[in-house]
Structure 1
């Protein structure tokens, strides 16, 4: 009789183990099915990426004649590009006074995305003859290799004697974060960014030019005029009832009399 409880206890344990085994098996089967579904989702994502890439390539080609036409119109406006860059908050933070002098000779900017788009892009700056360097064009290219590792290369700038802004501002100890601060620190030159290819992975300025300025530079060229218009409207709202401009309210005069 004493052996019976032990047998019952063993049987209960076997049932519990069996239920765990069943649960583990069901869980494993669910995981395998989820993995199969996830593989299908990944396959569709890859297919979507390929189709999106084809659409982007198509419309990049369609946009080219309009970019060319826009460049021809921009060429008729003096100081278009320097104004657009100075009005852009992020780019302006990297422009010191001498950079702005150089940018007054900037006649054309071009952004060219590579054929497969995902592999990178190229920014080209066109300059008329100037006192700073001999190059008529300088370019910076951004590349992604097959593993997605970023890199960049840029045109060597042929600076004229004593005009190398990169060396000049490096010698002055330009701020590492390249922020404009006339009181505390001398900012690095814009051309320090242009010539620096040490860490393309953290290069935000190229993306700003490609994705923000290049699609619609006119909005930044007109930004200063729009700010002036807004400030004028605010001034109108602040006009008081003193039409004579003598600083005395007519109602107060009547009450005093």
Structure 2
């Protein structure tokens, strides 16, 4: 019996166009991926001066980085109430891509003095190399695959002022293997839990931060919708108080109080 294997791109191309043409198409797709990869590297280098200038301007705005995190739906869901004072001390966020492979990067958080920990910087690295326990399961990334998964590198040690100041103990992460999202009452816990996680980035926070950082100015200014998946069409995230009213609704229609109470119940928070 032949060993079962997952169908590859070549298999699909062969089924669609035949073996000879499929081989040519496959090479063409590889060439396109290589060009896209090089364009991504070029883009990163070209944007560095822009982000450095942004950092200078952001330093003049009180709580710029905290506001940027709070106004972004994919990052704010990881901020617990206990984190706010610490994150308000955030002075800068910088992302540096690896010179050997731009798909790997580190996120550097620079803090001013705060009442919780002594570190002035916390640096979290994301790598293409899976941890030992996932090495046999993870596929080797293709040379130009920008969608290749990255993994959380070593645990970042936070020097808490005392055990009572440890925000990760005040608001621990609620992981459950059988859940696709965080429970409404348990939540994601403290933002700082992420620094201690290694291996698979189960929350995708690293990827979300990479996207968030590119648009931090818009988020800090409130020019981008808080919920990035919002389909209401409200430009710049400003909601109309009349958005939920139907044009055809009868003003004399009897109100169902039971139904109204049901609508007021908090919905379970979705993981982005």
Q: TM-score range by the shorter chain?
A: 0.5 to 0.7
1:193-212 to structure 2, matched below 5 A, reads 193-200=194-201, 202-211=202-211
3-state DSSP of counterpart to 1:125: strand
3-state DSSP of counterpart to 1:192: helix
Answer 1 or 2: which has greater helix percent: 1
1:179-194 to structure 2, matched below 5 A, reads 179=182, 181=184, 184-185=185-186, 187-194=188-195
Structure 1 match to 2:156: 155
Q: Are the counterparts in 1 of residues 82 and 170 from structure 2 also a CA contact under 8 Å?
A: no
CA shift in 2, pair 1:66/1:188, >3 Å: same
1:233-248 to structure 2, matched below 5 A, reads none
Structure 2 match to 1:168: 170
Greater RCO between the two (CA within 8 Å, min separation 6)? 2
Kindly state the Cα deviation for residue 119 of structure 1 after the two structures are TM-superposed: 3.7
2:129 pairs with 1:128: no
Q: For 2:112 and 2:200, how far apart are their aligned partners in 1?
A: 30
Q: Are the counterparts in 2 of residues 94 and 190 from structure 1 also a CA contact under 8 Å?
A: yes
Structure 1 match to 2:221: 222
3-state DSSP of counterpart to 2:198: coil
Kindly state the Cα deviation for residue 128 of structure 1 after the two structures are TM-superposed: 0.8
Return the TM-score normalized by structure 1. 0.67
3-state DSSP of counterpart to 1:48: helix
CA RMSD of superposed structures (Å): 3.1
The structure with the larger Rg is: 1
- The count of corresponding residues between Structure 1 and Structure 2 is 198
Structure 2 match to 1:23: none
Structure 1 match to 2:25: 41
5+ long unaligned stretches in structure 2: 1-13, 130-138, 142-148, 227-235, 243-272
Which stretch of the first structure deviates more once superposed, 96-105 or 143-152?
143-152
5+ long unaligned stretches in structure 1: 1-29, 236-257
Kindly state the Cα deviation for residue 199 of structure 1 after the two structures are TM-superposed: 2.2
Q: Are the counterparts in 1 of residues 127 and 150 from structure 2 also a CA contact under 8 Å?
A: yes
Q: Are the counterparts in 1 of residues 218 and 224 from structure 2 also a CA contact under 8 Å?
A: no
Select the residue among 46, 51, 68 that pairs with 1:84: 68
Kindly state the Cα deviation for residue 126 of structure 1 after the two structures are TM-superposed: 0.5
Select the residue among 100, 125, 130 that pairs with 1:141: 125
Kindly state the Cα deviation for residue 54 of structure 1 after the two structures are TM-superposed: 1.7
Q: For 2:41 and 2:35, how far apart are their aligned partners in 1?
A: 10
Q: Are the counterparts in 1 of residues 72 and 225 from structure 2 also a CA contact under 8 Å?
A: no
Q: For 1:230 and 1:210, how far apart are their aligned partners in 2?
A: 25
Structure 1 match to 2:44: 60
Q: For 1:229 and 1:39, how far apart are their aligned partners in 2?
A: 47
Q: For 2:224 and 2:55, how far apart are their aligned partners in 1?
A: 21
3-state DSSP of counterpart to 2:214: coil
3-state DSSP of counterpart to 2:165: coil
CA shift in 2, pair 1:66/1:187, >3 Å: closer
Q: For 2:102 and 2:21, how far apart are their aligned partners in 1?
A: 27
Select the residue among 93, 97, 112 that pairs with 2:81: 97
Return the TM-score normalized by structure 2. 0.63
Q: For 2:102 and 2:49, how far apart are their aligned partners in 1?
A: 22
